């Protein structure tokens, strides 16, 4: 059985309100199981984010986490993303209401 590893360390959006890929699951294997997610807001005001899991070649349209607010100087635990599987070659996208405001850390098992 695969052990949980750090997949993303402080991934951040550089564009406002635009899905950006922060992780791609290996093409070989059975996909990646997300075991933990944190979204840390290091700014001085409240920010929001969305998270998407898509299959290879698909666009980020329907978010698994449609809208989460992270209070300034606080952390969200990524409810709705943890426990999900990213298919082989699939991607994890995030979208934030402000550039460089929410930092994402993701752990998982590449199976």
pLDDT tens for residues 29-59?
999 999 999 999 999 999 999 999 999 999 9
Domain spans, the chain = 5-110
Task: Give the DSSP letter string of 51-88.
Answer: EEEE-TT----S-SEEEEEE-TTEEE--TTTTT-EEPT
pLDDT level of residue 1 (50, 70, 90 thresholds):
low
CATH number of 5-110: 2.60.290
């Amino acid at each position: 059985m695969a052990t949980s590893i750090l997949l993303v360390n402080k991934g951040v959006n550089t564009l406002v309100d635009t899905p950006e890929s922060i992780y791609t699951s290996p093409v070989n294997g059975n996909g990646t199981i997300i075991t933990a997610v944190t979204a840390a807001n290091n700014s001085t005001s409240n920010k929001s984010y969305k998270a998407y899991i898509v299959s290879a070649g698909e666009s980020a349209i329907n978010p698994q986490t449609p809208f989460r607010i992270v209070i300034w100087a606080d952390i969200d635990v990524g409810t709705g993303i943890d426990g999900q599987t990213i298919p082989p070659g699939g991607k994890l996208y995030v979208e934030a209401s402000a550039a460089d405001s929410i930092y994402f850390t993701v752990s998982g098992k590449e199976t």
